[in-house]
Each structure stands twice: as structure tokens, then as C-alpha cells.
Amino acid sequence: MRPQELLKKLALQKKLSHAYLLSGNDHAQKEELLHALLETLSVQPPDQMQINPEGEGSAPEITIAQIRSLSAFFSMSAWSSPYKTAILRDAHSMNWEAQAAFLKLLEEPKGDSIFFLLTEYPDALLSTIRSRAQEFKFFSFAPGGVSANDIAEFGKLQEADLVTRFAHAKRLA
């Protein structure tokens, strides 16, 4: 079952987790899943907060001040939606203090709150954060210029016996 279908099913059954980690390099698939789920949950903009890295230079980061404002946001009940949601884009850019403060939010979620952490580098997050979120991985691989001739040759190798495969590998080496 595709992640989008699974999450919609869980949403309709009101069995969603309080945190989701959407990892991988396919930004389009992550955004598509996120928007579809927010639509299914009927989350309106006043009940949604988006956190993006701030700062100049080559290393913008999510700061503890942003996480504190997120905590204040979740201290109030939902305005016009059944859920309050937070979307942390490039979650891997949280500095250490921000991750520690965010962990506190994850450990004690208030009411019907859902956190979405979008990142290409989930290992940059504290393991305690990763362990409290359900992870969905989205990867996309560009076709790196594979020719039709190469694909045909690969198809022949798949059907060839082991001796032929090793002979081909030896020629390539």
C-alpha cells in the first residue's frame, strides 16, 4: 500500500501518529503526500505552522527561537480544524538546542497535534526524535543517460548463464 493511501486510511480511522518523518531526496513526492494528508484532515492555515531554516550564508538553520514559537502555537487549541499541524522543512538543519526543545514537544504532544518533519538527511536528527516519528522514505533516481542499447544488453545478461555473465564482467573490468 502506498504511503498516501495508508495515511488517508489512518486519518479516516482517526489513528494517526503524532509525528511523521518524510525523508529522502524526492521533494515532489513528500510535498504531494503532505498536501493530500492536510486536505484529508481539513487542516486550515490558522491551525498550521511552517518552520523553515533561517539565516544568511551557506548554513541556514532552524533555531531554538523558532521551536519556542512552535511550542507557543501548540499551547493554544485548534481554531478551525480538527488538528493543529507543524511542518518543519529541512528538519535536519535544526541546531542542537532546537532539537532538544523539539524533543520536548514530541514527548508531550498536546491534543490533536501532528508534526511533519521533511528532510533529506534523517541521520542528522537526534535518534530520540527519529524514534518518536513514523518514517516514510521517498527517493528518486535520475536516469543517468542509460542508452537503449545498454538496456537491451542488460536484458540479455539477465537471461544469460553464469559463465556468460562472468565473461562479460571480465571484459568490462
Top pLDDT among 4 and 78 is at 78
Each residue's pLDDT tens digit, 77-125: 888 899 999 999 999 999 999 999 999 999 988 778 999 999 999 999 9
Top pLDDT among 158 and 105 is at 105
Contact between 77 and 114 (Cβ < 8 Å): no
Top pLDDT among 113 and 11 is at 113
Per-residue pLDDT at 142: 66
Instruction: Using the predicted structure, report yes or no on whether residue 144 has a pLDDT greater than 70.
Output: no
Cβ contacts of 50 within 8 Å, gap of 6 or more: 86, 87, 89
Average pLDDT score over residue span 128-154 = 83
Cβ contacts of 59 within 8 Å, gap of 6 or more: 93
Instruction: Using the predicted structure, report yes or no on whether residue 1 has a pLDDT greater than 80.
Output: no
Per-residue pLDDT at 60: 93
Each residue's pLDDT tens digit, 25-77: 999 999 999 999 999 899 999 999 999 999 877 789 999 999 999 999 999 88
Contact between 16 and 114 (Cβ < 8 Å): yes
